Amino acid sequence: MDRGLLEKLKRHEVSFHEIDKILDPDTAIKLRRTAVSELTGASLSHTGDFTLDLEKVTKRNIENMIGAVQIPLGIAGPLHIKGEYAKGDFYLPLATTEGALVASVDRGSSVITAGGGANARIFDDKMTRAPVFRANSIIGAKSLIDWVSSNFIRLKECAEKTTRFGKLLSVEPFIAGRSVYLRFSYDTKDAMGMNMATIATDSAVDLILSENDVELIALSGNMCTDKKPSAVNVILGRGKTVSSDVIISTDTIHEKLKTTPSKMFEVNYRKNLLGSARAVSLGFNAHAANIAAAMFIACGQDAAHVVEASTAITNMEIVEEGLYCSVTIPSLPVGTVGGGTDIGAQHECLSILGVGGAGDPPGVNAKKLAEIIVAAVLAGEISLIGALAARHLAKAHAKLGR
């Protein structure tokens, strides 16, 4: 190890990122890790143990890398899904440090499968980016909106020149005084598509600025809305808008969940619906983010988008057979190419689900992944609501994890 360069790192005479220009990735990572360990006094022996492709991840996924953090990976299932894209039995990879979570999803999967499987359908599919412009007045704002309406085809051609697969679907305007927000929506096929939408929108913005007396303030004006809970995503959707449902018999609820349809209905009504309304929550569910986060981390998704998945709506209704259960996720941004999906372990998890890489035709793998995730969330909701109805929640956490 180059001790002189190490001391320069510690004295901040050389920055963490500069050594990537001098050393190969493996040596640079070890040097940074040693510097951090000596600067902070922390032992970093575990973070240095990994099997990542350093050439790939240091160019595409991480900066100033010092190692990797391991998260336990569990499996739940089989979960039988009757989707348009996801059809059959699936084993769910869940990366989490929360004891009882995998067991809960496993139990919910068993309940759903005993009920004949979960239906799953995609209702909308688009990725958005919404730049904000400043006009001189509301007259200028109206002029810009009229121009966009008249020039959509030109904007579409300009945006689509930047991508092989992306297609501009619409541009929806929103105003606040002389601030104009243009919500560009794209079909991004198997990619989650945030970068694709950003680059394409940036190109379209150049055309807008060349023919309108407005100023671009920011390429993202938060009307997208990316990685934040928002009503616009709940209402208009972002990523995949996807639902899953199942009818569970009274006997299955008695046998597997040790409770009754009426008790589960009331838990959902008073907790997920009334309780969420009283809290003015944008999510009407028990713990949808738990399952989404575990699957996102396992499958190389952008973990920050869990906040959008958390706006899921869980519904339960008493029916003649027993209990109708559904989950709708208005905003589920997922993909099977790009981002973290090409990292070794994450690609293996996608392969468990049969969605590794691009689909044929393009887009089907990302849709299949969305159907699997929403059905997995449904399994988690059924299990937790059943546990609450039977008053088993505290017992399960005491036994399986605190």
**How many Å apart are CA 100 and CA 394, to the nearest integer?**
11
Residue 98 annotated to the active site: yes
**How many Å apart are CA 402 and CA 250, to the nearest integer?**
31
| Residue listed under structure tokens 């004006």 | 221
Residue in 53, 124, 321, 397 annotated catalytic = 397
Long-range contacts, 197-203 (Cβ 8 Å, 24+): 197/127, 197/128, 197/129, 197/166, 198/129, 199/162, 199/163, 200/129, 200/159, 200/160, 200/162, 200/163, 200/166, 200/168, 201/129, 201/131, 201/159, 202/162, 203/158, 203/159, 203/161, 203/162
Are 379 and 109 a contacting pair, CB within 8 Å? yes
Residue 80 annotated to the active site: no
Residue in 18, 38, 53, 98 annotated catalytic = 98
Are 31 and 6 a contacting pair, CB within 8 Å? yes
Residue in 106, 302, 308, 371 annotated catalytic = 302
Q: Which residues pair with 90 in a beta bridge?
A: 79
Q: What are phi and psi of 357, to 5 degrees?
A: 85, -165
Active site residues: 98, 302, 397
